[in-house]
Amino acid sequence: MISIVIPAYNEEENIPVLYERLKKVLDSLEDDYEIIFVDDGSEDGTPEVLREIAEKDKKVKVIRFRRNYGQTAAMYAGFEHAKGDVIITMDADLQNDPEDIPKLLEKMEEGYDIVSGWRKDRKDPFLSRKLPSKIANWIISKVTGVELHDYGCTLKAYRAEIAKRYRLYGDMHRFLPALAKRFGARITEIPVRHHPRLYGRSKYGIGRTVRVILDIFLVKFLNEYITKPLYIFGGAGFFLFLAGSLIELYLTFLKLFTGADIGDRPLLILGVLLILAGIQLISTGVIAELIIRTYYESRGEKPYVIDEKINMED
Ligand code: UDP
Ligand code: MG
């Protein structure tokens, strides 16, 4: 079964058209399907439009938020309620094309866990959208090691167990492929079509770029150091502490053996500073270790994911 998850915030004109086009594509597939619209606290006629469609078509399911929580929260809610084995996310504004869905599914059948859409010929403004996005995609690819051209494209297919694995906060939905790498997910991309927005307005401005940059640091940390924060904090702290100690030893040596004045030397202060910073970082690392353990143990989560077990009965 396939679940389509569609976050929608003030998209009343787009939804009926999208629904008709989606239905045509999905009915032509062999698999069973459901369409989950998540109304993210719309202030226009979106709730009524969705209610009307859902009344006629039981395959259409609607989750309505009390207020606007953002696209990521909407997708998270959709994932939580999805019943399908494969989950496909797309925008409600007709910028993604339902006709690309069979292509995504075909690629999934080759054994991938995530197939990401790549808006090769993107129909958005250059300066405020395409350029920042190009730079961001390049940085994310380099930092995370998951090379994709278009992290920001909502049209993606996920194996359900991967999509449901994450608690998504902030704007993190775009980083799912990078996060999934931690579990050894097989990830690929295919070019998809993209259309200009015909009705309604875009919900984002250039401010999104800053949030994306901040999230990159978080993803890097979550991917590589989440199970060993002491190594990253403590490692840095150790070197600072060592450098500070060497400096102070050197000054002590000078004082004892040459009797030189060391009280007014900037080096003295630098040494003290490095030692203190070092101790601070090491303690932060230890505290982070404790927090991480609580995190894993309270969620009953293991720091590894098993792909398959052979000859092992539970
Ligand atoms: N969206 C949402 N909640 C929000 C903002 C956006 O559910 O707070 C939905 C919106 O309705 C659309 C999708 O997220 O279906 C992408 O938004 P938009 O088209 O404005 O982004 P852009 O294509 O301009 O990057
Ligand atoms: Mg859009």
pLDDT tens digit string along 209-222?
Answer: 888 989 998 898 88
Pocket of ligand 1 (CB under 6 A): 7-9, 11, 40, 68, 70-71, 74, 91-93, 95, 202-204
> Do 77 and 180 lie in a common domain?
yes
**Residue 231 — pLDDT band, cuts 50, 70, 90?**
very high
> Do 271 and 137 lie in a common domain?
no
Residue 307 has pLDDT above 80, yes or no: no
Chosen domain end from 175, 208, 241: 208
What is the extent of the structural domain holding 276? 230-299
- 268 located within any domain: yes
> Do 117 and 243 lie in a common domain?
no
Chosen domain end from 138, 173, 208: 208
Closest residue CA from atom 8 of ligand 1: 70
Helix (H, G, I), strand (E, B) or coil at 4: strand
Q: Which of 80, 284, 94 is nearest to 163 (CA)?
A: 80
CA of residue 134 to ligand 1 center, whole Å: 19
Question: Using one digit for the tens of pLDDT, what is the confidence trace for 10-20?
Answer: 999 999 999 99
Our count of domains for the chain comes to: 2
- 26 located within any domain: yes
- Mutation test of ligand 1: which of 6, 91, 130 has the most ligand atoms closer than 8 Å to its C-beta? 91
CA of residue 29 to ligand 2 center, whole Å: 26
Say what the alpha-carbon torsion angle 205, 211, 213, 219 is, to the nearest 10 degrees. -140
Contact criterion met (CB below 8 Å) for 21 and 98 = yes
Structure tokens belonging to residue 135 = 């730079």
> Do 235 and 198 lie in a common domain?
no
Ligand 1: atom nearest CA of 91 is 15
- 222 located within any domain: no
> Do 263 and 170 lie in a common domain?
no
pLDDT of residue 283: 97
CB atoms within 10 A of CB 241: 20
CA of residue 177 to ligand 2 center, whole Å: 20
> Do 202 and 246 lie in a common domain?
no
CA of residue 202 to ligand 1 center, whole Å: 6
- 215 located within any domain: no
- 45 located within any domain: yes
> Do 104 and 27 lie in a common domain?
yes
Question: Using one digit for the tens of pLDDT, what is the confidence trace for 264-291?
Answer: 999 999 999 999 999 999 999 999 999 9
User: What's the predicted TM-score (pTM) here?
Assistant: 0.86
**Residue 3 — pLDDT band, cuts 50, 70, 90?**
very high
> Do 189 and 44 lie in a common domain?
yes
Chosen domain end from 147, 178, 208: 208
- 312 located within any domain: no
Which residue type occupies 282?
A: I
Q: What's the N-to-C CA distance of the chain in angstroms?
A: 27
CA distance 297 to 216: 26
Question: What CATH number is associated with residue 53?
Answer: 3.90.550.10
Do strands 2-8 and 156-159 pair parallel, antiparallel, or not at all (unpaired)? unpaired
**Residue 304 — pLDDT band, cuts 50, 70, 90?**
confident
Q: What is the DSSP letter of 189?
A: E
- Rg over CA atoms, the chain: 25
- 278 located within any domain: yes
CA distance 221 to 74: 25
> Do 253 and 142 lie in a common domain?
no
- 220 located within any domain: no
List strand residue ranges (DSSP E) for 127-186, in order.
Answer: 156-159
